[in-house]
Amino acid sequence: MHYDVFNGDADGIIALVQLRLAEPKESMLVTGVKRDIKLLGKFASSDDVTSVTALDISMEKNREALITLLNNGVSVFYCDHHRSGDIPQSDELEALIDLDAETCTSLLINQKLGGKFAKWAVAAAFGDNLHSSAKKLASELGLSPEDTHFLEELGTLINYNGYGGSLADLHIAPAELYRKLLAFPCPLMLREDPSSPFYVLKAGYAEDYFHISHLKPTADSEVSAVYELPNEAWARRISGVFGNDLANAQPNKAHAVITLNQSGADYTVSVRAPLNNRIGADEICSAFPTGGGRKAAAGINQLPLADKEKFIQTLTSFYA
């Protein structure tokens, strides 16, 4: 059995959409909410695994399970742009890893496929808040402003759908969303289908965004701002896209959105480095036990309530 393993956000889903449009293959899908990145460990010891495609999940966080797969003779194609750690040396591993702050997994897959489904890559880059890279590719493709805007909205909505404490928080489970999107060889086709996932997510997004339209920061300085959201499903869904919007509105500032977890004992944290200085988010988050990510955007899965001020000080001092 081949396993397709992918992050449940826009970049992970669209990377697989591009691959399977180009190379159809029956597979077992392994994914989850955006924060669920330790995915290889869910099946690494299974007897039925013959090959694996891993997309948009940190190799560093999956290293032990990856080594288990390789030692068992499983062929793995691994494409990602997050912290990788030391890449294992194995004839069974094909690694396409690029940590550049201006790229994402879907852009790497687009290059691998020679641009066969490049419009999908544009949507993914927008979803990952790589607006400059997305607009550059859209320009190279000769897309109209109207089409470019639609792909921006589509990518944002797919990314928005990945955030939540569990699959129950999401409008559409990532595996199901992937299957639905695979039916559209060109993403612009979703605009013409009133029953497409685009319109389902658009309605949910508008309803959730209403809650944060007048939200004020918990902490604000010249170099950073932190916003706090309550323990509500809408807050968990909107947190990532809200962080992107804050970063785009104030490109010289770092931003963090901290959302109270359902346990009431800790927060989920989303960090965005300043768009004009896309470094440091991974370092800041990795300083805390459940943190990780990439230079431009990272997060912490469980920040204890008592560590909130420590986190704010760490964020501010890094960019001071």
Query: Which of 203, 232, 254 corresponds to the end of one domain?
Result: 203
56 and 93 belong to one structural domain: yes
pLDDT digits (tens, 9 = 90+) for 129-158: 999 999 999 999 999 999 999 999 999 999
Residues 255 and 298 in one domain: yes
Task: Check which CATH number belongs to the domain holding 131 and give it.
Answer: 3.90.1640
For residue 245, being part of any structural domain is answered with yes
CB-based contacts of 284: which residues, under 8 Å, 6+ apart? 271, 291, 298, 314, 315, 318
State whether 12 and 137 are in the same domain.
yes
DSSP tag of 288: S
Q: Which domain holds residue 272?
A: 217-319
**DSSP 8-state secondary structure symbol assigned to residue 37:** -
Last residue of a domain, one of 142, 175, 203: 203
Domains of the chain: total = 2
Tens of pLDDT, residues 32-47: 999 899 999 999 999 9
* Alpha-carbon gap, residue 150 to 238, rounded angstroms: 19
Q: Do 145 and 20 reside in the same domain of the chain?
A: yes
Q: How confident is the model at residue 166 (pLDDT cuts 50, 70, 90)?
A: very high
**Widest CA span of the chain, in angstroms?**
54
102 and 183 in a single domain? The answer is yes
pLDDT band with cut points at 50, 70 and 90 for residue 165: confident
Judge if 169 and 58 occupy the same domain: yes
Residue-wise pLDDT for 297-314, tens only, equals 999 999 999 999 999 999
Of all residues in the chain, the percent with pLDDT exceeding 70 is 100
Rounded Cα–Cα distance for residues 46 and 61 (Å): 19
Percentages helix, strand, coil for the chain (3-state, rounded to 5) are 45, 20, 35
Q: Give all strands of the β-sheet with 2-6 in edge-to-edge order.
A: 28-30, 2-6, 51-55, 75-80, 93-97
**Tens digit of each residue's pLDDT (9 = 90 or more) over 244-271:** 999 999 999 999 999 999 999 999 999 9
pLDDT the model gives residue 56: 98
Based on the domain organization, do 151 and 22 belong to the same domain? Answer: yes
The DSSP secondary structure of 246-273, one letter per residue, reads: HHHHSTTSEEEEEEE-TTSSEEEEEEE-
Q: What is the pLDDT of residue 126?
A: 97
Query: Does pTM surpass 0.85?
Result: yes
CA–CA distance, 13 with 33 (Å, rounded to integer):
11
* pLDDT digit string, tens, across residues 177-226: 999 999 999 999 999 999 999 999 999 999 999 999 889 999 999 999 99
In this structure, are 199 and 268 located in the same domain? no
Give the CATH number for residue 300. Answer: 3.10.310.30
Q: Does 123 share its domain with 173?
A: yes
Cβ neighbours of 282 (radius 10 Å):
25
